[in-house]
Chain A
């Protein structure tokens, strides 16, 4: 997979959120984007997965124009902002509801994903009883469960304890070896340096390579 971002701009109420960003991402790599709060990181991820319209520029994924040839990238998983799931369902049921849309994942795959993120001991708990870290784990599980080609993660290590962070890093390596293109945004440079192959800095809507 190859993503070409060409001079994209996003303006909301005359505020420039994304300013003339051009960059290329290829599969099998982990890209880290560091930036302060409000620098445009989340908006950039939303633009990449087609959840927000850009005002100018183009996003080309494997030769197809996002927003013209396709509404959303064909195989994408994401965790953007705090994950919100129906509170009355447990981890398996929540993932099963999402898996039933594309029907490309078996129940066994769902259980395996729950175990990979470390939620197997809390599998029967309902989402509303989850801690922040557990919610984050379920968000990561939803992002990786369908083995997507593109994985977009926004502050994925928020609320995770040390063990969970270790598990998460293992997952990232496994997904990278599988050939996924992974983009992680975070305000924490140390976190990103440990997991990223390439590092970028987002500053006032502009993206620079570090």
Chain B
């Protein structure tokens, strides 16, 4: 019964999970299940065959390109519409202000986090069932290069690297979810507010396309196979995540949420 209520309130979160999972399963079928070898003839390996492990399949690009949209849609339309109807006032008066800010914030963050982590984990687990968990070979050169951060971790402890990167993507999506609900509080049209994170990342994608290996390209930063070229990219990501939390608390205390 509680699950039924959850699903009724979080329809767009379900849609995000569904779209993400369709891309993830499509990648698994197309890139893992139907071929014995990876696309360039390298023997199969779970770490380089999963959706975030290589850049040979279009599904990888689709997933990371649409990641900001999956994160924002997961909360923007469900919570934006309820926010506009002032439904959350009913929550507020049943809690303290701090409790409300924290509870709603954690909920929104986890919805964005899970919208990305669930499809990625699903793809990784399915790939692990089909491909061996062999340590990636640096000579094959699929995976972070020597000039990218985290390379040592990837080749020494690929499971830890992969798990951390899935969580990093999830945290990034959680921050996008927080920003989306904040935008819904500021912009009257919640559909517009929901599309803003994707529009910004699309602009970055276009600008990044003008440069080789540009750090502006968000999907490049979010794909585990690449990693960041410079620590500045991770710093920028952390600043964005902290910004989303600080603005959430600021807007909450100003009673805008």
B and A form one assembly: yes
Residue B255, interface by CB 8 Å: yes
Contact of A71 among B5, B82, B91, B97 (CB under 8 A): B97
Whether B90 is near chain A, meaning CB under 8 Å from some CB there, is: yes
B5 touches A101 (CB 8 A): no
For residue B21, give the distance in angstroms from its CB to the closest CB of chain A: 21
Q: Counting CB contacts under 8 A, is B40 at the interface?
A: no
Instruction: Collect the chain A residues with CB atoms within 8 Å of residue B11's CB.
Output: 88
Min CB distance A111 to B, Å, is 14
CB pair B255 A53 closer than 8 Å: yes
| Complex CA distance for A86 and B86, rounded to whole angstroms | 11
Residue B95 at the chain A interface, CB threshold 8 Å: yes
A96 to B98, CA, bound (A): 23
The answer to whether B91 touches A101 (Cβ under 8 A) is yes
Known interface pairs A51-B93, A53-B255, A98-B94; A81-B5 also in contact (CB < 8 Å): no
B188 CB-CB contact with A under 8 Å? no
B86–A84 CB distance below 8 A: yes
A49-B93, A51-B92, A102-B94 as given contacts; A89 in contact with B9, CB under 8 Å? yes
Main secondary structure of the interface of B (DSSP, over half): helix
Interface of chain B residues 1 through 37 with chain A (CB within 8 A): 1, 4-5, 8-9, 11
Q: Given A51-B255, A53-B255, A81-B86, A88–B93 Cβ distance below 8 Å?
A: no
Count class of interface residues, chain B: 20 to 34
Chain B residues whose C-beta falls within 8 Å of the C-beta of A71 in the assembled complex: 92, 96-98
B92 touches A72 (CB 8 A): yes
Bound-state CA distance A98–B1 (Å) is: 15
Interface residues of B in 148-201 (CB under 8 A from A): none
A132 at the interface (CB under 8 A from B): no
- The verdict on B213 contacting chain A, using a C-beta distance below 8 Å, is no
Cα–Cα distance between A53 and B82 once the two chains are bound (Å): 22
CB distance from A68 to the nearest CB of B (A): 12
Chain B hits for A78, CB < 8 A = 89, 93
- For window 69-99 of B, CB contacts with A under 8 Å fall at 82, 84-87, 89-98
**Per-residue contact bits, chain A 77-110, to B (CB 8 Å; 1 contact, 0 not):** 0101110111011000100111001100000000
A50 CB within 8 Å of chain B: yes
Interface string of B95-109 (1 = CB under 8 A from A): 111100000000000
Given A71-B97, A102-B94 in contact, is the A88-B87 Cβ separation under 8 Å?
no
Check A80 against B97 for contact (C-beta < 8 Å). no
Note all chain A residues with C-beta closer than 8 A to B1: 93
Please, which residues of chain A bring their CB within 8 A of the CB of B98? 71
Complex contacts, B95 vs chain A, CB 8 Å: 72, 101
CB of A86 within 8 A of CB of B82, answer yes
Closest to B255 in A: A53
A18 proximity list for chain B (CB < 8 A): none
A142 at the interface (CB under 8 A from B): yes
With both chains docked as a complex, state the minimum distance between the C-beta of B129 and any C-beta of chain A, in angstroms. Answer: 35
The smallest C-beta distance from A58 to any residue of chain B, in angstroms, reads 18
Q: Do B87 and A85 touch across chains, with their CB atoms under 8 A apart?
A: yes
For A80, what are the chain B residues with a Cβ–Cβ distance below 8 Å? Answer: 86, 89
Given contact pairs A50-B93, A72-B93, A96 touches B5 in the complex (Cβ within 8 A): yes
- Which of A53, A98, A142 counts the most B-chain CB atoms under 10 A from its CB? A98
- Do the beta carbons of B8 and A86 come within 8 Å of each other? yes
Please give me the residue from chain B that is nearest to A84 by CB atom.
B85
Check A88/B94 contact, CB under 8 A, given A51-B89, A51-B255. Answer: no
Shortest CB–CB separation between residue A10 and chain B, in angstroms?
Answer: 13
A80 to B96, CA, bound (A): 19
CB distance from A127 to the nearest CB of B (A): 9
A89 touches B5 (CB 8 A): yes
Nearest-CB residue, chain A, relative to B254: A53
A and B contact pairs by CB, cutoff 8 A, 6 listed: A50-B93, A71-B92, A76-B93, A84-B85, A89-B9, A93-B1
Please report A residues at the B interface, Cβ cutoff 8 Å: 49-53, 70-73, 76, 78, 80-82, 84-86, 88-89, 93, 96-98, 101-102, 142, 146
- The 8 A-B residue pairs with the shortest CB-CB distance in the complex, in nearest-first order: A84-B85, A88-B8, A71-B97, A101-B94, A72-B93, A84-B87, A86-B9, A89-B8
